[in-house]
Structure 1
């Protein structure tokens, strides 16, 4: 069981590293997206928080590629609209990532957008 968990964690890390490269995320952006702020730290494990964020972000990427296209996605994540970038919004944690997943799913069901 421990070996399986370790192998799963390593596979998740590899998948997230590939996502980070595709989205041209720098080290600071990766840290913001996957590390719980100390002021908001819950009693849970920092590793569990990181893995949750990575899984959600991997799920979200596929939806955003379907909506925006691969070429536009990197630029869109850094486009400041309404006072913050989508990347900054996502760095607020799993609840914000889940909210964007739901919004993306809704947009896809209603015909999507490519603005």
Structure 2
């Protein structure tokens, strides 16, 4: 059974990621005080498709900048969404990842 309260907290954080920036599943989990829950953040992203307001799940990648969730978008939709925000992706990897990386623990205050 999913923890929808945790999902809602994840969605609140993901909605704050600025256009043209990316973060990781682990950074969101750590920010929410549950460092070991990066996989659950991934599950929340998989379930985000019908959330209202919409969740910019395409801005969440793995810790190396890889588009590990892209198959949930279908085709190259995740890459196209990132490209529309100026994020360059080559071979399913965000280019200039360290420059574009948005860490909620630094960018947000609890």
TM-score range normalised by the length of the shorter chain: under 0.3
- TM-score normalised by length of structure 1: 0.26
- TM-score normalised by length of structure 2: 0.27
Q: Which structure has greater strand proportion?
A: 2
Q: Which structure has greater helix proportion?
A: 1
Question: Computing the radius of gyration over CA atoms, which structure comes out larger, 1 or 2?
Answer: 1
